[in-house]
Amino acid sequence: MNGMSHRVIPCGLILGLVLAAMAGRAGAGGPAEVNPFIGTGGKGFGVGSTFPGPCVPFGLARPGPDTASRGWNPSFYHCSGYDATDQWIRGFSHTRLSGIGVVEYGNVLVMPTQGGAADPSRERTYRSRFNHRTEQARPGYYAVTLADSGIRAELTATAHTGLHRYTFPKAGRGRIIVSASHAISRTGSCGAKLELKPEAREITGSVKQCGSLTGRNGGVEIYFAVRLSEPFCGFGVASDGRSRPGAKSGAGKNVGAYVDVETGPEKPVLVQVGISFISVDQARRHLDEELAGRSFEQVLGDAEKAWREALSLVEVTGGGDDQRTIFYTALYHAQIMPTDFTEAGGRYRGFDKQVHAAEGFRYYTDFSLWDTFRSLHPLLTLLLPGRAADMMQSLTLMAEQGGYLPKWPTAYVYTGCMVGASADNVLADSYLKGIRWLDVDKAYQAARYLAVTPLPEKSGDDSRLGIAEYIAKGYVPADRFKASASRTIEYSYNDWCLAGWAKALGKDEDARMFSARAKNYQNLWDPKTGCLRGKNADGSWKKPFASWIWTGSYAEGNARQWTLAPLHDALGLIELMGGKEAFVKRLNDFFEKSAKKKSNFLPGSYYWHGNEPDIHAAYLFDYAGRPDLTQKWVRWAMATKYKNAPDGLDGNDDCGTLSAWYVFSALGFYPVAGSDVYLIGSPIFEKAVMHLQGGDLTVRAEPDPAKNIYIRLVTLNGKKLEKPWFKHEQIAKGGELVFEMSEKPLPRPISE
């Protein structure tokens, strides 16, 4: 869930952001213009849920600070562990998801302290106050000074490890806390164990994580290995409130270890943390292969190099400083997830809970598909087709090893989160854009299976809940299933995606069946209210009904927003609403009223950019013959829903979904997910070069797109576009997309 608020940012935090920006100005563009604090704040439904800690692109290990405030400390503000207004650091954990709307992970916490009073079973003895002015963050690096001890903590990461460097302000004995049971949510861990090996300077163990996602299907086991650069001067274990100095092992729901080391300002302590979802031996192997014999600077250098390469996929010229920072931060956030789940030796734990070998590909998980199918996956397909192919193979293997396609897979379990069979959309989108993976036909059969076969009630997933009724009646009955209207709309979209995919595969009978079902959302059209609304099994309308509030018929949105959700059949939706003129009037009114809302502390009752069902709404004007209004309202959304500040996202980034929307829109076009079509918008940069696998695509906007937001003419490879869209095959091998900009909308805009 998403939203946005406008608030005053503390002066200290502003200075912290300035320091972070200065620290990253090593080169022009790319990482130098990323602000990892964007999205780490916000209030109400405006919480972005991103985190400032380091990682490498799509890396499994994501070390970073878990924070808290002295007073009100709601979980929803800490879904990734960090909130920009907090004053306390609880410690540095190593697992988290980016931009999600539920609390998950935050495992294997490490925290340095000065002296010997800290107890790993009592957080209040080791957490520390901090000042945001001391924070620095850039891709691959995070640093902060712990105010209570003066310790300078620096973090970097590899694919499976976190590397800490702690500089103590004075000589003496320092204590390193390792909490095996820690999770962002205090109830997220459901048991842990650990073992100390002083002679090896090592602590190993495991934790069973049962968070808001993982806990829905029994939890997941996470293994770790921690190594220190300094010998142990003392050590002990605390479990379930009982401290045992000198103990070497422990287990329980609240278990941790402490290690004492000699410290000093000239003698930083390095702490290596390896993470695995397979075994302790794998966690050790990650330390050996990714960190052994390497300095902090060497590891940091590799992380920074990885991000330079990732962010150099798109080079932009022009635009304001904030626009460039927002753009590159969005491109950064769009390459954090899904998670590359492949461990040392090419191994991964699959959905059958067994360990498998990934031969010839990388295995990914943590797909927020209901969100990411709309913008993130199309962006990855365009920029990183090799990774996209591996992601599609991973989804296919989840179906093969787990029994069916997931809709929000986390680690190696189904979660049943959100509605619809969104894997269908991603798989179809990829295939229609030329992506090929090892088991395409298996993937299609897995998608088809869910589209025609009801799953057992206790399957652990409900991607097509109510599918039997949907097939029989043409909709999901509101008196039998929650979010029935949303499910019907999503299933229709899923079916449209399957129809296009089936046609491309030569499965004509399936294509006809799914194409007909793609219109099922129209069975919920109520001409009296002008909305798609819940309908009972007997054909009566679900009551009570109000278009402006959430009701049980909708998931994370209201009737106004969900009525605009069928992007897959925009022309059919326009016809339902009385034709193009009536549709334009209604949609423009929808945005005009949205523009009057100054605070997004609560979700908007009209356009709600901070959540997904209507995120594409501005692009619907293209279908109604008014691309000038698409240009107007896309520019408005970019200008008002994004900021270079902690509250700079309109709501949960949802694993890069809002970020990918900005990347596409800033470049001047937007995907119709599940197809090979891109809609024309309004670019904000004078020039952008996208380094695609098939060749460079250069996008030009002239004259000055800062002053001229409307489009007079678009040419693609020298040919005028007669319609406000083009196909993937027209840009896949590179080329030139040129926008001739205008200060005013044209009397006769690009034809439909």
Residue-by-residue DSSP string for 367-427: --HHHHTTTHHHHHHHH-HHHHHHHHHHHHHHHHHHSS--SS-BTTB----SSS-HHHHHH
Query: For the segment 99-152, what is each residue's pLDDT rounded down to a tens digit?
Result: 999 999 999 999 999 988 899 999 999 999 999 999 999 999 999 999 999 999
- Kindly state the DSSP code that residue 59 receives in the 8-state scheme: -
Residue with tokens 């927003």: 561
Q: Is residue 85, in this structure, part of any structural domain at all?
A: yes
- Kindly state the DSSP code that residue 224 receives in the 8-state scheme: E
Q: What CATH number did the domain enclosing 208 receive?
A: 2.70.98.10
pLDDT band at 600 (very low <50, low <70, confident <90, very high): confident
Give the per-residue pLDDT at 465.
93
pLDDT band at 70 (very low <50, low <70, confident <90, very high): confident
Domain boundary residue, one of 310, 325, 352: 310
Q: Is residue 701, in this structure, part of any structural domain at all?
A: yes
Least confident of 4-8, 388-392, 693-697: 4-8
CA distance to 77, 668, 693, per residue, from 696 (Å): 40, 16, 8
Q: What CATH number did the domain enclosing 445 receive?
A: 3.30.2080.10
H or E element in which residue 147 lies: none
* 346 Cβ contact list (under 8 Å, min separation 6): 357, 358, 359
Residue with tokens 């199918």: 373
The partner residues of 223 in beta bridges, in order of sequence, read 206, 276
Q: Is residue 408, in this structure, part of any structural domain at all?
A: yes
Give the per-residue pLDDT at 598.
78
- Same domain, yes or no: 78 and 141: yes
Task: Reply yes or no on whether the pLDDT at 621 is more than 80.
Answer: yes
Query: For the segment 319-342, what is each residue's pLDDT rounded down to a tens digit?
Result: 999 999 999 999 999 999 999 999
Residue-by-residue DSSP string for 278-324: S-HHHHHHHHHHHTTT--HHHHHHHHHHHHHHHHTTEEEE-S-HHHH
Give the per-residue pLDDT at 747.
61
Query: For the segment 13-28, what is each residue's pLDDT rounded down to a tens digit?
Result: 433 443 343 333 333 5
User: ∠ CA(489), CA(660), CA(402), 5° rounding?
Assistant: 60
- Same domain, yes or no: 185 and 94: yes
Query: For the segment 198-250, what is each residue's pLDDT rounded down to a tens digit?
Result: 999 999 999 999 999 999 999 999 999 999 999 999 999 998 778 999 999 99
Closest CA to 324 of 336, 337, 311, 307: 311
- Same domain, yes or no: 371 and 265: no
Taking residue 337's Cβ as centre, other Cβ atoms within 10 Å add up to 28
* Helices 376-383 + 422-432 axis angle, to 10: 30
Task: Reply yes or no on whether the pLDDT at 749 is more than 60.
Answer: no
- Same domain, yes or no: 391 and 270: no
Domain boundary residue, one of 310, 330, 348: 310
- Same domain, yes or no: 138 and 200: yes
Distance CA 357, CA 345 (A): 8
φ, ψ at 550 (rounded to 5°)? -70, 135
- Same domain, yes or no: 378 and 234: no
Q: Domain of 168? A: 11-310
- Same domain, yes or no: 221 and 257: yes
Residue with tokens 């609880």: 90
| Sheet of strand 735-742: strand arrangement | 314-317, 687-692, 695-702, 735-742, 710-716, 719-720
Read off the pLDDT of each residue in 175-182 and give the average, rounded to a whole number: 97
- Kindly state the DSSP code that residue 169 receives in the 8-state scheme: S
Q: Is residue 752, in this structure, part of any structural domain at all?
A: no
- Same domain, yes or no: 527 and 604: yes
- Same domain, yes or no: 243 and 350: no
Give the per-residue pLDDT at 13.
40
Give the per-residue pLDDT at 594.
95
Distance CA 366, CA 373 (A): 13
3-class DSSP state of 740: strand
Read off the pLDDT of each residue in 681-707 and give the average, rounded to a whole number: 98
Domain boundary residue, one of 257, 290, 310: 310
Amino acid at site 159: A
- Same domain, yes or no: 257 and 370: no
The partner residues of 133 in beta bridges, in order of sequence, read none
Q: Is residue 748, in this structure, part of any structural domain at all?
A: no
Q: Is residue 751, in this structure, part of any structural domain at all?
A: no
Token pair, residue 681, equals: 């918008």
Taking residue 248's Cβ as centre, other Cβ atoms within 10 Å add up to 15
Q: Is residue 468, in this structure, part of any structural domain at all?
A: yes
Query: For the segment 453-473, what is each residue's pLDDT rounded down to a tens digit?
Result: 998 766 666 789 999 999 999
Q: Is residue 541, in this structure, part of any structural domain at all?
A: yes
Closest CA to 91 of 58, 124, 116: 124
Give the per-residue pLDDT at 458.
63
- Same domain, yes or no: 363 and 216: no
In the chain, the number of structural domains is: 2
- Same domain, yes or no: 267 and 400: no
Give the per-residue pLDDT at 597.
82
